[in-house]
């Protein structure tokens, strides 16, 4: 299907939904009771998304925020409240019907918030050709929109272009656990349902990294739909346009604290727990950002860690039989590769089948923020417990 045809069909679908009140595809988790206090019902009833990127404590007072695919304006208006009257919010959307509703309600929201004037503007434009100046945005948000763009790599490049050095993004979107087959890719209705355009998590994050965005990590994830054995799920991801390295910097070494046994960062540098690794100034900038900073000790001189040091962390599996229950783990950052203490090597975005013991490990505090967990079992599993061997026999 030609790209321009996909774009037009998606725009028409959302314009129709705005007119009819049709409930669209994606799972949402807005606190409608709170938002009703300042956002008109006309906006709330046409709000579609698969997360709440504006409401995850990512917006700061006084910032300039860009919402890609702003629709009726719900996320822009929430950002407006959070940036305060000194901040600025830009929403871009390709659908005239949505823009009309958003613009009509901008003044109402400003009055409800007690602002002297609206700090939100809505511009017509495409996600892969944003009408936004270079390097002007502190934070990009987007809610279940980028999966609708036929050329997502262009979108990611645009995100990098408009973001200030040191700026960041928090976006919610639908991804798949395997490549979407061509019969779905060419199904026009499935595009509007946030299905046909979904990338795998691996390809989605790789597109961001390829555009220059780094430190990409998971904030939230939740299952959505299973179609023909393909698991579609929602993820909310955060990452950065790294600022230039400060010179001089005293940091010359990084020591991995854990709980991972070994990791590889987005620049390709490998770290073994407890062993100091020489790093560059750019590496130091990357590792100083959340959530990577929690996993490293950054020092001017080499520092070794062992189990006697309180900074050293690990989570070992239970010494007991395990059960296979259909669970798969997907590493979602901020590392491209990571190993635990039970012979598993995780590659970012790639599903790895895990047993009950490993599931328990990945649910612990140190691991849980970095993994999306899916269950591919079509029905209840009643397998017997098995014993894991030291060579990884059952895992």
Which CATH number do you get for residue 251? 3.40.5.100
> 192 pLDDT exceeds 60?
no
Do 133 and 162 sit in the same domain of this protein? Answer: yes
Last residue of a domain, one of 240, 258, 281: 240
The more confidently predicted of residues 53 and 258 is 258
Q: What is the mean pLDDT of the segment spanning 233-248?
A: 92
Q: Which two tokens stand for residue 107?
A: 């003044």
What integer pLDDT is reported at residue 150 of this predicted model?
87
> 241 pLDDT exceeds 90?
yes
Q: What is the mean pLDDT of the segment spanning 233-253?
A: 92
Dihedral sign from CA coordinates of 36, 97, 196, 193: positive
Q: What is the mean pLDDT of the segment spanning 95-119?
A: 97
What integer pLDDT is reported at residue 177 of this predicted model?
96
What lies within 8 Å, CB to CB, of 62 at 6+ separation is: 83, 84, 86, 87
> 1 pLDDT exceeds 70?
no
Domain extent at residue 369? 317-395
Q: What is the mean pLDDT of the segment spanning 206-224?
A: 96
Give CA–CA dist 256/275, Å, rounded: 7
Q: pTM for the whole thing?
A: 0.90
Q: What is the CATH number of the domain that holds 210?
A: 3.40.50.150
The count of domains in the chain is 3
Percent of the chain with pLDDT over 90: 74
CB 35 within 8 A of CB 44: yes
Do 236 and 252 sit in the same domain of this protein? Answer: no
Q: What is the mean pLDDT of the segment spanning 262-270?
A: 97
Using alpha carbons, select from 202, 187, 192, 67 the residue that is nearest to residue 127. Answer: 67
Q: What is the mean pLDDT of the segment spanning 262-291?
A: 96
What integer pLDDT is reported at residue 251 of this predicted model?
94
CB 148 within 8 A of CB 191: yes
Per residue in 297-324, pLDDT tens? 999 999 999 999 999 999 999 988 999 9
Last residue of a domain, one of 193, 216, 240: 240
The more confidently predicted of residues 71 and 249 is 71
Last residue of a domain, one of 280, 314, 348: 314
Residue pointed to by tokens 């209840």: 380
Do 152 and 253 sit in the same domain of this protein? Answer: no
What lies within 8 Å, CB to CB, of 191 at 6+ separation is: 6, 9, 10, 13, 148, 197
What lies within 8 Å, CB to CB, of 340 at 6+ separation is: 259, 260, 261, 315, 346, 358, 361, 367
Give the Å distances, CA to CA, from 48 to 143, 164, 191, 209, 223: 8, 28, 14, 27, 17
Do 372 and 270 sit in the same domain of this protein? Answer: no
Do 152 and 212 sit in the same domain of this protein? Answer: yes
């Amino acid at each position: 299907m030609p790209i321009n045809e996909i774009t037009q069909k998606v725009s028409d679908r959302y314009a129709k939904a705005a007119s009819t009140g049709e409930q669209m595809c994606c799972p949402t988790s807005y606190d409608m009771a709170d938002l009703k206090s300042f956002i008109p019902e006309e906006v709330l009833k046409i709000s579609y998304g698969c997360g709440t990127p504006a409401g995850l404590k990512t917006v700061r007072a006084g910032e300039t925020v860009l919402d890609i695919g702003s629709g009726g304006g719900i996320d822009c208006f929430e950002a407006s409240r959070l940036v305060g009257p000194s901040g600025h919010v830009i929403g871009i959307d390709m659908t005239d019907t949505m823009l009309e509703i958003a613009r009509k309600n901008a003044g109402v929201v400003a009055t409800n918030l007690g602002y002297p004037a609206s700090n939100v503007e809505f511009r017509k434009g495409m996600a892969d050709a944003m009408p936004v100046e270079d390097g002007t945005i502190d934070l990009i948000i987007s809610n279940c929109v980028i999966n609708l763009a036929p050329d997502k790599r262009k979108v990611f490049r645009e995100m990098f272009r408009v973001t200030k050095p040191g700026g960041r993004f928090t976006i919610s979107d639908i991804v798949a656990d395997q490549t979407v087959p061509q019969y779905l890719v060419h199904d026009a209705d499935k595009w509007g349902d946030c299905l046909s355009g979904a990338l795998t998590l691996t390809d989605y994050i790789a597109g961001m990294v390829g555009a220059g965005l780094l430190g990409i990590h998971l904030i939230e994830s939740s299952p959505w739909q299973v179609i023909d054995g393909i698991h579609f799920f929602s993820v909310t991801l955060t990452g950065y346009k790294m600022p230039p390295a400060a010179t001089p910097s005293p940091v010359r070494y990084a020591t991995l604290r854990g709980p991972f046994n070994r990791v590889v960062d987005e620049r390709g540098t490998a770290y073994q727990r407890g062993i100091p690794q020489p790093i560059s100034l750019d590496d130091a900038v990357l590792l100083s950002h959340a959530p990577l900073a929690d996993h490293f000790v950054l020092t001017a001189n080499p520092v070794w860690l062992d189990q006697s040091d309180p900074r050293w962390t690990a989570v070992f599996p239970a010494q007991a039989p395990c059960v296979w229950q259909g669970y798969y783990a997907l590493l979602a950052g901020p590392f491209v590769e990571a190993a635990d203490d039970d012979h598993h090597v995780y590659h970012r975005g790639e599903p790895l089948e895990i047993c009950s013991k490993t599931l328990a490990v990945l649910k612990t505090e140190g691991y849980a923020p970095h993994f999306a967990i899916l269950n591919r079992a079509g029905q209840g599993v009643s397998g017997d417990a098995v014993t894991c061997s030291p060579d990884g026999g059952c895992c």
